[in-house]
Structure 1
Amino acid sequence: MVVDCMTRSFLVPRGSDVPLEIKIAEPALRAQGLSLTTWTSSFVLASLLHKLPVDFPPSSSPIQVLELGAGTGLVGLTAAALWNVPIVLTDLAPIVPGLAGNVKLNDSLVKDRVRCGSLDWAAPDNLTLQTGETYSADTSKACVILAADTVYSEEHPELLSKAILRWLDRGSSSRVILTYPLRVAYLDQIRQLWELLEAGGLEAIQEGREQASADDWDDEGLCEWSVWAWKRIQENGE
């Protein structure tokens, strides 16, 4: 059951004088004990996308960009507006209807480039779109994977890294772009995530920190971001 709903407009930089306006509805899902909230790190990542170089080689995959833990969809919607490629936003099944609603709110910006679905990080071989269609990680790899504020429990580093390594294409242009708030309680989990990604064959090729305005956000304002690529590709140019 959906109760209460607030619609917000986010002005996201895109490297020109006129920012993108992304509309986001944030309903409370009382029946599932969940809420859809746009966290600081999502806005930080969305605001960085226009600065980060990405390359999309020709591909037959229906998923050029995959967002994990999409929440309200701000990051993925921004990517769709900027990059003009097929994007799939994923989260837990109860979150997906809210995601789909936000895609519809921004239809004039993203057209038909964005789809929504559920992906279980504990069993990440397949994702199921809201339409019922299923994609397999064996045949539908993503060139870019996005994730913002997806590490907030002891289980998340292993689960998130498993999903990333399963769905990321092995090409030289493939990238993982992560952002997370530097909450003291989860710094150990962030370090563990880095270790697992490195053990899986990835390396951070760019990283930085951004401080969000305390006037605009109640969450931790200091966020760290990183861009990852396959080590083998970087070292050998294969």
Structure 2
Amino acid sequence: MASPIGSHGTFNVKTDRRGSTVPVHISEQAGARAENLSLSTWGASFVLANALHELAVSLPKGREAPASGSHVLELGAGTGLVGLTAAILWKMPTLLTDLSPLLPALAGNILLNKALLVRQSVSCASLDWSKPDQIQLFDSKQSDTQIVSPRQTKAHVILAADTIYSEEHPELLTKTILTWLAPHPDARVILCYPLRMAYIDHIREFWQLMEASELVCVEEGRENGDEEWNELAHTPYEWCMWGWKHASAGELN
């Protein structure tokens, strides 16, 4: 599915229920590829970015994240639309992660939106889900590689869009989430994915693994695809938000 903006453009993302929007600038750098996929802004990213303002997320207040940490962590960020939207809306330190070949383009999109990110720290880093206990912060000069460990910091909110499309992904994604999600009753994982028939079994397995890992879905919804995304016109997109089972019912609602 190709991006509706082409190689460079602006997504007007909703910021409230009145229909207000904020322009998030995205460039899809030619030649940027990882795991045989070219860099693109997938439909699930647009759906999730537009849903963030409606979700009941309790964000930390009056607490600064560690210099090497973040309150918000995006997995499989791609062009970074979801993470950038979260940083703009929530004004929280945000870390966008993906495989290393995509990081220069991801860093470029952070710079494109610097006028909207003046109040918060946004950075990008390499995270390989097969080695989920190590994040390598991106340094364009490659002069001093900084490694972040989950022993140093955890994420209050983890975001992921269209990250379940192979049989390995359910287990790898679940392990990565469990590695980085803070053990706090307000901590949340928010995902969005298209319900393509080829991936239904992978999505079902992911849900089973999450539920077996002391996490519970606290909110979910669906939206139909858009023909502009080159997805089948009626392909539904599902988003879901998860929290820890050990939180009280009152804390999860």
* TM norm structure 1: 0.92
For residue 130 of structure 2, what is the aligned residue in structure 1? 122
Corresponding position: 1:199 with 2:212? yes
Backbone CA RMSD of aligned residues: 1.9
Which consecutive residues of structure 2, in runs of 5 or more, have no partner in the other structure? Answer: 1-5, 140-144
Residues 103-133 of structure 1 deviation map (CA, whole Å, 9 limit, x = unaligned): 0011111235210000111111110110222
Name the amino acid aligned to 2:15.
R
Residue 64 of structure 1 is aligned with which of 59, 71, 76? 71
Residues 76-129 of structure 1 deviation map (CA, whole Å, 9 limit, x = unaligned): 000000000000000000011110010001111123521000011111111011
Question: Aligned partners of 2:65 and 2:160: how far apart in 1?
Answer: 23
Q: Please say if residues 129 and 173 of structure 2, whose CA atoms lie closer than 8 Å, have aligned partners that are also in contact.
A: yes
Which consecutive residues of structure 1, in runs of 5 or more, have no partner in the other structure? Answer: none
For residue 196 of structure 2, what is the aligned residue in structure 1? 183
For residue 49 of structure 1, what is the aligned residue in structure 2? 52
Question: Aligned partners of 2:168 and 2:162: how far apart in 1?
Answer: 14
Taking the TM superposition and a 5 Å limit, the aligned residue runs for 1:1-238 are 6-15=7-16, 16-29=18-31, 33-57=36-60, 58=63, 60-61=65-66, 62-111=69-118, 112-131=120-139, 132-214=145-227, 216-220=228-232, 221-235=235-249
Question: Aligned partners of 1:117 and 1:94: how far apart in 2?
Answer: 11
Give me the identity figure in percent: 48
Aligned-pair CA distance for 1:56:
2.1
Q: Secondary structure at the match of 1:234?
A: coil
Aligned-pair CA distance for 1:183:
0.5
Name the amino acid aligned to 1:212.
G
Aligned-pair CA distance for 1:237:
6.2
Q: Secondary structure at the match of 2:247?
A: helix
Q: Please say if residues 42 and 75 of structure 1, whose CA atoms lie closer than 8 Å, have aligned partners that are also in contact.
A: yes
Question: Aligned partners of 2:13 and 2:250: how far apart in 1?
Answer: 37
Question: Aligned partners of 2:212 and 2:160: how far apart in 1?
Answer: 19
Structure 1 residues 222 and 236, CA gap change in structure 2 (3 angstroms): closer
More strand by share: 1
* TM norm structure 2: 0.87
Question: Aligned partners of 2:200 and 2:216: how far apart in 1?
Answer: 19
For residue 142 of structure 2, what is the aligned residue in structure 1? none
More helix by share: 1
